[in-house]
Structure 1
Amino acid sequence: MEAPTCNGSGDSSPVFYLVGIPSLPESFFLPVFFVFLLFYLLILMGNALILVAVVAEPSLHKPMYFFLINLSALDILFTTTTVPKMLFLFLLGDRFFSFPACFLQMYLFHSFSCSEAFILVVMAYDRYVAICRPLHYPVHMTPQTNAALAASAWLTALLLPIPAVVQTSQMAYNDIAYIYHCFCDHFALVQSSCSDTSSQTLMGFCIAMVVSFLPLLLVLVSYARILASVLRISSQEGRSKAFSTCSSHLLVVGTYYSSIAVAYVAYKADLPLDFHVMGNVAYAVLTPILNPLIYTLRNKDVKAAITKTVYLKTEAMT
C-alpha cells in the first residue's frame, strides 16, 4: 500500500479512522460482534479461573505456576487492549480513534505481546532447571529470583516498543488518517502515514526479530538441553514424567509462534488486505483463548484446582 499524500492542516492532532475488515459487509457486523464477544468472555473467564485457582490453592505455590499466573494476567491485558474497541466497531460502528488513544493502544499491544514472549522464555528456563538440575532447583528458583525474572520480562517488554511508538507518532498524517485494520497496530499506523515509511518498516522488522526470534531461540536451546537430559533417563516412566511436566508449556509456545507465523505469512504473502487484517486479529485472540484450555486439559494439578475453586464458589452461592 502506498503512502497517501498529506493534506492535513497541521494545526491539530489527526484523528484515526479504523477501516476494520475492508471487504466485510455491514450485514455481517453483528454476527462478527457476537463471535468476538464470545471469544473475549472465554478469555476473561478462562484466565481469571487460572489466576484465582493458583492463588487460592497452596499446593500450586510453585515457580512454574507463579509464571503461569503472569501469563494469564498478560493474556487478559493483551486482549483487553484491542478487543473492546473491536466490539464497539462491529456493534456501534465506532471507528474513530484520537491520536493519543491510538498510540497508547499500539504501545500496550506490542508491550504485552513482548512480555508474553519473555515470560515463555522464563517458563522454559524454569523447566530446564527443574529437569536438568533438579538438586539445584530450590536454590536457583527462589521466590526472589522468580519475582526478579518476571519483573525483568515485564520491564524489558515495556521499554522495547518505546522507540517505535515515539518515531511513528512523529510521522505526518492527514487530518483523518485511515487505518486498514481493526486496531492500532504498528505496521497499519505506518502505512496510514503520508511520510516516507521505509525507515519505520525496517525498525518494526528489527524489533519483531528481537522480540520473536530471539525468545524462540532461547526456548529451543532450553528444550534441546531438556531433551538431551531426558533421553539419559533410563526408565520409560521417568522419561514420560519429565516430558509431561513440559507438555503444556510446549503447546503454549507452539500456539504462540504459530499465531505469529500466521500473521507474518498474511503480511508477507501476496494476499488481499482482508487476510492481512485477519492474520493479526487471529494473533491477538488465538493464544489467549487457547492457553487456559491447554493448561486446564493437560495439567491435572491446575484442572483439580480449578474444579475445587468452581465447586467452592458454587457451594458458597447456594
Structure 2
Amino acid sequence: MKTNMGETNLTVVMEFILLGFSDIPRLEGFLFVLFLIIYMSILIGNGLIILITKIDPTLQTPMYFFIGNLSFLEICYTSVTIPRLLSNLWSQRRNISFLACAIQLTAFLIMGATECFLLAVMSYDRYVAICKPLHYPVIMSHNKCIKLVVGSWISGIPLQIGQTCQIFSLPLCGSNKLNHVFCDIPPLLKLACGDTSINEFSVYADVLILAMIPFLLILWSYSKIINTILKMPSATGRSKAFSTCSSHLIVVGLFFGSAIITYLRPKSIHSAEADKILSLFYTIVTPMFNPMIYSLRNKDVIAALKKLLPK
C-alpha cells in the first residue's frame, strides 16, 4: 500500500514488493526446491558442527569454539533471508511490510558485520597458535574467547542500526517494488528520490569500517603466519600449519570477496541481476559450504563425526 503526497510526488510506503525471481516464473518451483534443499543442508551441516564442537572432548579448544560459533552465526544469518524467500516462492505473495523490511535489513547487516569480526578473531586465534604457541593457552583463555565472540556480535550493532534508520528515512517516490530477493541497501537506494550520494558515501564508510578493517587484520595475521610457517624446519610441521589455516582462508575469500564486490563497486556498473546473484553467494552459498570446508579438510572433525553419526 502507498499514498501519494501531492505535488512533491513523494510516496508514503506501507509495504514493499520483493520481485525476487518473478521474471522467470517457470523456474520458481525448481528454485523453491533448490533453496529448500540448500537451507536444510545449512541447518543440518552447521548444526552438526555445533554439536560435535560442544560434546567431543578432543574439540574443546579455542579454534573449534570459534568454528562452532561461526556455524551458529551462519544458521542465524541464512534464517534472516531464506525462509522469507521460500515463502514468497511458494505462496507467490511478494509483499513485505515496511517494518518487516527494516527489521530484516537490520538483522542482515548486524550479522554480516558479526561475521566480518568473527572471521578476524579466528585469524587472530591462528596467529597466536602458530606464532606464539607457548603463550597460546594463556592468551586464548576461555574467558578471552567468550569476550572476543561477544565483542564480534555487538561491535557492529550501533552503526548498522544507524545505517538502517538512515536508509528508511529517505523520501521514496514512484514504485515500491524491490527488484531483489530480500531487503538490501542497493535496491532500497534505487527507490529513493533525489540525490543519494551522501547515503552511498555512508554505505562505503560502513563497509570500510565493518568489513575492510577486519579484512586488513586478517591479512596482517596471515602475513605473520605465513612468515612463521616458512621458517619452520620440519616439512611436516609446515604442512600441518598450512592445513589448519587453509580452511579459514577459503571461507574468508568466499565471504569477503562477494560482499566487497557487492557494496564497493561503482554505482554505474550496478545491475539488479548481478546484485541478486552476489547477495545469494554470500548469504546462501558460503554458509552452505562452511561445514564442508571445515569438516572435509579437518581430520579431527571427521573423526568426531564418525564417532557421532553411528549413534
Superposition TM-score, scaled by structure 1 size? 0.90
Q: Which residue of 1 aligns with 2:205?
A: 206
Q: Partner letter of residue 42 of structure 1?
A: S
Structure 1 contact 263–282 (Cα < 8 Å) conserved: no
Structure 2 contact 113–210 (Cα < 8 Å) conserved: yes
- Map 1:87-98 onto structure 2 (within 5 A): 87-98=86-97
Structure 1: give runs of 5+ residues left out of the alignment.
Answer: 313-318
- Map 1:92-107 onto structure 2 (within 5 A): 92-107=91-106
Q: Partner letter of residue 55 of structure 1?
A: K
Q: Secondary structure at the match of 1:54?
A: helix
- Map 1:274-293 onto structure 2 (within 5 A): 274-293=273-292
Residue 112 of structure 2 is aligned to residue 117 of structure 1: no
- Map 1:210-229 onto structure 2 (within 5 A): 210-229=209-228
Question: Percent of pairs identical after alignment?
Answer: 38
Please report how far the alpha carbon of residue 130 of structure 1 lies from its aligned counterpart in structure 2 after TM superposition. Answer: 0.5
Q: Secondary structure at the match of 2:156?
A: helix
Structure 1 contact 20–182 (Cα < 8 Å) conserved: yes
Please report how far the alpha carbon of residue 37 of structure 1 lies from its aligned counterpart in structure 2 after TM superposition. Answer: 0.9
Q: Which residue of 1 aligns with 2:16?
A: 16
Q: Which residue of 2 aligns with 1:239?
A: 238
Structure 1 contact 29–90 (Cα < 8 Å) conserved: yes
CA distance in 1, matches of 2:129, 2:206: 31
Q: Secondary structure at the match of 2:215?
A: helix
When residues 176 and 262 of structure 1 are mapped into structure 2, their CA distance, relative to the original with a 3 A threshold, is closer
CA distance in 1, matches of 2:176, 2:194: 12
Structure 2 contact 204–263 (Cα < 8 Å) conserved: no
CA distance in 2, matches of 1:94, 1:174: 23
Q: Which residue of 1 aligns with 2:250?
A: 251
Q: Secondary structure at the match of 1:97?
A: strand
Q: Partner letter of residue 29 of structure 1?
A: E
Q: Which has the higher contact order (CA 8 A, sep 6+)?
A: 1
- Map 1:1-318 onto structure 2 (within 5 A): 6-8=9-11, 10=12, 14-21=14-21, 24-174=23-173, 177-261=176-260, 263=262, 270=269, 272-312=271-311
When residues 139 and 145 of structure 1 are mapped into structure 2, their CA distance, relative to the original with a 3 A threshold, is same
CA distance in 2, matches of 1:291, 1:180: 28
Structure 2: give runs of 5+ residues left out of the alignment.
Answer: none
Q: Could you list the per-position Cα deviations for residues 1-24 of structure 1 after superposition, in whole angstroms to 9, with x for gaps in the alignment? A: xxx98443x5xx5211111146x3
Q: Could you list the per-position Cα deviations for residues 231-254 of structure 1 after superposition, in whole angstroms to 9, with x for gaps in the alignment? A: 111111121122122121112112
CA distance in 1, matches of 2:94, 2:141: 48
Q: Could you list the per-position Cα deviations for residues 271-294 of structure 1 after superposition, in whole angstroms to 9, with x for gaps in the alignment? A: 652222222122211110110010
Please report how far the alpha carbon of residue 260 of structure 1 lies from its aligned counterpart in structure 2 after TM superposition. Answer: 2.3
CA distance in 2, matches of 1:45, 1:244: 25
Count of equivalent residues: 305
Q: Could you list the per-position Cα deviations for residues 175-232 of structure 1 after superposition, in whole angstroms to 9, with x for gaps in the alignment? A: 9621111100022212222353221111111111222221111001001001111111
CA distance in 1, matches of 2:137, 2:60: 13
CA distance in 1, matches of 2:278, 2:96: 22
State which drifts further: 280-289 or 258-267. 258-267
Structure 1 contact 266–276 (Cα < 8 Å) conserved: no
Structure 2 contact 10–171 (Cα < 8 Å) conserved: no
Please report how far the alpha carbon of residue 267 of structure 1 lies from its aligned counterpart in structure 2 after TM superposition. Answer: 7.0
CA distance in 2, matches of 1:6, 1:72: 46
CA distance in 2, matches of 1:193, 1:87: 27
Structure 1 contact 174–194 (Cα < 8 Å) conserved: yes
Superposition TM-score, scaled by structure 2 size? 0.92
Q: Secondary structure at the match of 2:183?
A: coil
Alignment root-mean-square deviation, CA:
2.1
